Every structure is written in C-alpha cells, then in structure tokens.
Amino acid sequence: MSYCYCILLRKASRRVTSLYDEALAPVGVNLAQFSLLRNIQRAEPISLTDLGQRTELDRSTVSRNVKVLEKMELVAMANGQDQRESAVELSDKGRQVLRDGAPLWDGVQTAIEAKLGDEASAQLTALLQAL
Amino acid sequence: MSYCYCILLRKASRRVTSLYDEALAPVGVNLAQFSLLRNIQRAEPISLTDLGQRTELDRSTVSRNVKVLEKMELVAMANGQDQRESAVELSDKGRQVLRDGAPLWDGVQTAIEAKLGDEASAQLTALLQAL
DNA sequence: ACATATTGCGTGTATATACACGTAACTTCT
DNA sequence: AGAAGTTACGTGTATATACACGCAATATGT
C-alpha cells in the first residue's frame, strides 16, 4: 500500500508554502504573490494570458491575483498591443518588494537545500519537473 | 540560480491533483474529497479536530470541506463524546464512492509509478515526507 | 464588406485553504 | 459552587485556484 503521491505533494506544498510565506511576511507578500511579481518582472509588460502560461495558472486565476497586487500598488495595468489586451507592469514599490524579498526567499531556499542535502535537492527538482 | 522549490512543488501539486481529479470524476468527487473520505473511513467516527490533525489541515478547512461532503450525502454528522464535539461518519453512499473510486485512484498511482520508475517513485515519496 | 472564427479578458460560481474571533461546553482550581 | 482556563466548533474574511460563460476586439474567409 503506497502513499498517495498527490496527497504527499499537497501536504509538502502547504508546509513549504508556509515556510516561504513566513519568511516573506516582512515585505508584505506571500510566496504566490512574490512568485507572480517575479514572473511579471521577467517579461514586463506582459499580458494576463501570457502570464498565465508562464505560471501554469488559469487566466482567470492570474487575473484575480494580479488584481490583488494592483490593489497593493505593486503592479499597474497599462494598455497592450490591442484594445482587448492589458499589459501588467511592476511599480517602483513592486520592484522594491522584489529587491527586499530576494534575500528572504534565498534564506528559505538555502535552508531547504541544507536540510535535504545537495544531491537530494537536485533529485527533488528533477522529480518535480518530471511530474 | 536554482528553481524555487515552493513553486516547483505547487506546480507539480496542481498538475498531479488535476490527474487524480480527472480520474475520480466518474464517481463525482475530486482528489481532496476522496482523500478526506479515506481519512474519515480510517477513524470513523472522528471529530473535526482529529480529522484536521490527520490531514494536516486547519480545523476550519476541514469543517468546510466536510460540509460539502455532507451536502453530497457522502458523510453524516453524529454526536461525539461531548455536546461540543461532532463525529463524522461515512454514509453508505460515501462507502460506495470509496469502493468505486479505489481502482480509479490506483490507476493514477500506478501511472505515476510507471512514468517515474520504481526507484524514483520511492525517492519522491521520501523527499516529500522529509519536507 | 460582411459573416464567422478566434483571442483576451472579466465575472459568476465553487472548492480549498488559513487565520482571527467569538461562543458554547467541559475541566480545573480555589 | 463559582471563577478561570481549555477545548471544539462555526463564521467572517481573505487569497488561491479552476471552469463555464459572455462580451468586446481582432483576424479570417468568402
């Protein structure tokens, strides 16, 4: 009787998310928001649809998550190529959060690697990508 | 520059959850609900607090998820030891879902093992438990 | 040009999840 | 017995997430 891979994944996901959330709390965002900001930064200005593909999230999910970031004034919506397309851009405040959050994010990242060891960390990365 | 373990986990979690959800669709529950039913089965009648500890979920989350199962008539609430405690039990319909869902769940489980290989599957299990 | 198809987005609806807070019930201490 | 603390639970609020649907804008085919 093997453990359910899905449940193991979901539990680990919740636990680890909690670690990153706590670490990032000082800059006022959670892991999901920090990651979304990073994805925006890598391709700004970016449409919501493109952002959804990059993050592997449903477009409507991205739409709502971006709206929260907008309310926090970390990003701003601009006009895209089309009238229908809207382009997300970081605000100065958003860039600051990314700068301030980077070492916090790195701390958790390093802590996980220290806990698992280098080899196991690499294995984990490979396995998660293979799923 | 390493990948964010949390994001890798969350993405894998969403992808894999989706696999199980699709497989379980014929019996009318998703993976989270199926898993919750299984946890109830293992310890019924069980209080919401105990169920929360078993599933590593917040009590309020369990409370709400159980409420959905109750509306689907897969579980029923009975009186616990106390007046404050409520005990969750499976209904016949709930047991049937567990029976019918088992082979569907097993199919995904086997498919994942086939994809990763036995050794990698065992590694994955160990790594996820270590996190 | 006009009808049709596609694209990009928002909203409605639903589950999953957590934290904070309040309430009722039980326990413990004096 | 009565006060104080603990336990079990529900609800309010908020984010995360997906699917279905509809609308507006653009592209395409005749």
Q: What is the pLDDT of residues B99-113, one digit of tens each?
A: 999 999 999 999 999
Q: Above 80 in pLDDT, residue A88?
A: yes
Q: Is the CB of A71 under 7 A from strand C?
A: no
Q: How many residues does chain B have?
A: 131
B8 touches chain A (CB under 8 A): yes
B1 pLDDT higher than 70: no
Token duo for residue A29: 């965002």
pLDDT band at A1 (very low <50, low <70, confident <90, very high): low
Domains of chain A: 5-130 (1.10.10.10)
Span A36-77, pLDDT tens digits: 999 999 998 999 999 999 999 999 999 999 999 999 999 999
| Contact yes or no for B6 and A108 at CB 8 A | yes
A77 CA: nearest nucleotide by C1': C9
The whole-number average pLDDT for the span A89-115 is 95
- What phi and psi values does residue A35 have, to the nearest 5 degrees? -65, -40
The C-alpha angle A90, B1, A115, rounded to 5 degrees, equals 115
Q: What is the pLDDT of residue B89?
A: 94
Q: Are residues B88 and B79 in contact, defined by beta-carbon separation less than 8 angstroms?
A: no
Percent of chain A with pLDDT over 90: 90
Q: What is the DSSP secondary structure assignment for residue B89, as one 8-state letter?
A: E
State whether A6 and B35 contact (CB < 8 Å): yes
CA–CA separation, A51 and A70 (whole Å): 15
Residue B86 to residue B29: CA distance in whole angstroms: 23
Q: Cα–Cα–Cα angle for B10, B13, B18, nearest 5°?
A: 130
State which amino acid sits at residue B53: Q
Residue nearest to nucleotide D15 (CA to C1'): A65
Ranking A76-90, A94-108, B37-51 by mean pLDDT, the lowest is A76-90
